[in-house]
Amino acid sequence: MPNPSWRPSATFHALKARACLNEQIRAFFAERGVLEVETPALSQAGTTDPALASFSVVLPEGRRYLHTSPEYPMKRLLANGSGDIYQLCKVWRDDEYGRRHNPEFTMLEYYRVGFTYQRLMQEVAQLLQLLIPHLQPEPDILTYRESFLHYLAIDPYTASDTALAACAKQQGLEVQSDLSRQAWYDLLFTHCIEPNFAPDRLSFIYHYPAEQAALARVKQEQGYWVAERFEVYCGAMELGNGYQEQQNPVANRHTLIHGNQQRKTAVTVDERFLSALELGKLPFCAGVAIGVDRVLLCRLREKHLQHIISFAWELA
């Protein structure tokens, strides 16, 4: 009996819009002399980030992980002297499915040698203004701390855990179990701050707590250690995550090993990536990863990711 679920989940209008979007992205980087590259989707090593789950396959020669981001191999290219590079590719993240999530999605990741993360924020704003024409012209730019002070009237760095819990309760959030400090941060930010970001306007949040640095550099700011990284939103929807890339090989190794220790299931650490940093030289650079499907969602003013993907996860 024929399967009725053979039709695509996206309209031809969405498919054409995606093709146009990809052309604009490539033209944007061609004008700036940024090289398009391709790196493997399957790797012998996985991401050690405790917040990300990789799909994997077992082959005769061993386990291979589908990449959650092309970050590690792209940084190997940078350490070998590639200069400015970008990549449009499919990535995979397990346990991510919903109105704004699909386990398989398209990512734009790019690196600019010699850029500060502030300069990269400006370029990301230019790119997104091009790709989402109805955006308001001036983005909102706040530090992580300023966003808490502005929207919740609480300082995330000086407030006690009890004060953070009281703030959550005041905002109508009922949490039964005790949370770590980072979990309180995440809960308040995602449920009480993100929904307030202006629709049809970009919002940049930067200087996250140092504990959320991942592979970004850290520095002291007003007496507190903060990560030199940013996230960019369109309304309440996160579109991208950018770093001032950590060049120190020892710091990068510590981050990967520590992250692997925090995971429920450890993965193979990418020693080739670490060797590139230790034996090569990662240049001073800033990089960003942007969810292309979400950009298209904003461009078309759609609400469900499945409407702009050729075949949604359950139809693949």
Q: What is the pLDDT of residues 194-245, one digit of tens each?
A: 999 999 999 999 999 999 999 999 999 888 999 999 999 999 999 999 999 9
Q: How far apart are CA 300 and CA 69, in angstroms?
A: 25
Give the burial string for 254-271 (b: 16+ CB within 10 Å, else e): ebbeebbeebeeebbbbe
Note the pLDDT of residue 221: 87
Cα–Cα separations (whole angstroms), residue 310 to 55, 99, 175, 245, 306: 21, 15, 38, 34, 8
Note the pLDDT of residue 189: 97
How many other C-beta atoms are found inside a 10 Å radius of the C-beta of residue 17? 17
The average pLDDT across 36-43 equals 97
Q: Are 276 and 73 in contact (CB under 8 A)?
A: no
Confidence of residue 175 (pLDDT cuts 50, 70, 90): confident
Q: How far apart are CA 224 and CA 34, in angstroms?
A: 35
Read off the pLDDT of residues 252-301 as tens digits, 9 standing for 90 and up: 999 999 999 999 889 999 999 999 999 999 999 999 999 999 999 999 99
Percent of the chain with pLDDT over 90: 88
Confidence of residue 95 (pLDDT cuts 50, 70, 90): confident
Whether pLDDT at 178 is above 90: no
Note the pLDDT of residue 289: 98
Q: How far apart are CA 311 and CA 307, in angstroms?
A: 9
Whether pLDDT at 176 is above 80: no
Between helix 12-31 and helix 117-131 the angle, nearest 10°, is 140
Q: Are 91 and 53 in contact (CB under 8 A)?
A: no
DSSP 204-247: EEEEEEGGG-TTB-EEEETTEEEEEEEEEEETTEEEEEEEEB--
Note the pLDDT of residue 211: 93
Place of tokens 């990560």: 227
Confidence of residue 141 (pLDDT cuts 50, 70, 90): very high
The answer to whether the predicted template modeling score (pTM) of the entire model surpasses 0.85 is: yes
Structure token digits, residue 46: 């996985």
Note the pLDDT of residue 1: 59
Note the pLDDT of residue 222: 84
Query: ∠44-67-55 over CA atoms, to 5°?
Result: 85
Place of tokens 């009725």: 4
Note the pLDDT of residue 139: 97
Residue type at 45 in one-letter notation = A
Provide CATH code, domain 12-139+240-315. 3.30.930.10
Note the pLDDT of residue 3: 67
